[in-house]
Amino acid sequence: MTITEKAMLLKKDSTRLAAAGVDLRNKALNDICNALIDGSAEIFEANKKDLKDAEENGLAPAVMKRLKFDENKLHASVEGIKALIGLKDPLNIITLKRQLDEGLTLVRSTCPIGVIGMIFEARPDALIQISTLCIKSGNCCILKGGSETKRTNKALFDIIYKAACLAGLPEGCMAQAEERSEINELLTCDKYVDLIIPRGSNSFVRFCMDNTKIPVMGHADGICHIYVSAEADPDMAISCIIDAKTQYSAVCNAVETVLVDKSIAEKFLPLLSESLKKARVKQNGNAEVQKIIYCNLIDEDGYKKEYLDKEISLKIVSGIDEAISHINTYGSHHTDCIITKNESLKEYFFTMVDSANVYCNCSTRFADGFRYGFGAEVGISTGKMPPRGPVGLEGLVTYKYKLTGEGHIVAPYCDGTKNFNFEDLQ
């Protein structure tokens, strides 16, 4: 089947999956756990072949580590599914119940989005996590994993899909795309696919955003800032910056630029510079910064760079307004933080910074669905429309309006013989 044909089948079955009760969805998740354990030999076998190819292709050890799927990762994945089973059903939650007039009742309740196209990095556990999140939220999914773990992905998909169908979910509950060329076809399926969630490099996410009519949830860049205000605790600021830059540099919520208030720059920058040096972070700054500390020279364009590495941009700002203006101009609306003891400065920063996550006195690395207690995460959205920020189960639903009458018609409400009597119920 082509991707379009698969998408068509999923669209057809999407309302069937939406109608599956939470017990059935949880049963399917439980059966998937068992099937993964039963099929582990097969999965490890496939993964060994993928790893062998990866080694031959000279992939870096850090990448190899992500590609590897062993007993530990299987165990963690199964635990993840069990935790997911325990999460509250995100469907059929009533968010509005209103009597419009006697006998005419409006209900707004959550329902699945429909068909989601998920394109993700070469990390076999990602396939398990994403497919089970979609089942829990009643969404059909088309899964395209990284080609470096092609065999592992196929083995995992076959096991998960078979278990889901045997548990009673519709045939069109999920499908797999195996070739990179199928991504382009997937992006044209706007009739059948309701949402695309791409994970991967900036350029890849941007490519998806620029080449489809389907809504795309995600983020291309992750240019996060920490603004050290005049009223910052310098030790706290340094600790947060070092954590945000070095704890894991290659991720979107790592800090890329530190903005230092002019009034404390002379004292603070040397302290920060020393800590960064110790942490082996390459320091970049403009001429103004260079007057105070030793660093590589960058121009304004340098502040648009996402390093994804142990490298950082430094800038001196005249005050909070310049900090906010810099963040809103050069940032990616992902996660931005102020270090301050001043409560009203914090509130001002929270309101004026146009980002999905605005922080005070902590590391930017907290921007993550798990760390927010969502129990799971499909990605982080830097778009303005909901879902925004870290997206977990709750972000994978939409809603519909359900109106029940007793033969109500609008004519009498239009000619004034009847009036609405709005009354919120419950």
Nearer to a copy of itself, 16 or 305 (CB): 16
Nearer to a copy of itself, 30 or 239 (CB): 239
Nearer to a copy of itself, 156 or 217 (CB): 217
150-167 vs 124-136: helix axis angle to the nearest 10? Answer: 20
C-alpha separations of 128 from 125, 157, 353, 368, 384 in Å:
5, 8, 35, 18, 28
Nearer to a copy of itself, 18 or 43 (CB): 18
Nearer to a copy of itself, 146 or 369 (CB): 369
Nearer to a copy of itself, 25 or 151 (CB): 25
- Return the SS3 of 295: coil
Residue whose C-alpha is closest to residue 338's, from 349, 330, 327? 349
Residue whose C-alpha is closest to residue 332's, from 255, 229, 248, 238? 255
Nearer to a copy of itself, 78 or 362 (CB): 362
Nearer to a copy of itself, 35 or 141 (CB): 141
Amino acid at 42: E
C-alpha separations of 315 from 133, 258, 302, 320, 339 in Å:
41, 6, 11, 13, 15
- Minimum CB separation of residue 405 from a copy of itself in Å reads 3
Q: Is there a contact between 358 and 385 (Cβ–Cβ < 8 Å)?
A: no
Gap between the Cα atoms of 131 and 175, Å rounded: 10
Q: How many CA within 13 A on the CB side of residue 111?
A: 15
C-alpha separations of 113 from 17, 193, 394 in Å:
11, 10, 11
- Determine the length of the chain: 426
- Return the SS3 of 24: helix
- Minimum CB separation of residue 126 from a copy of itself in Å reads 19
DSSP per-residue string spanning 37-88: HHTHHHHHHHHHHHHHHHHHTT--HHHHHHH---HHHHHHHHHHHHHHHHSP
Query: Residue 316 corresponds to which tokens in the numbers above?
Result: 């001196």
- Minimum CB separation of residue 108 from a copy of itself in Å reads 8
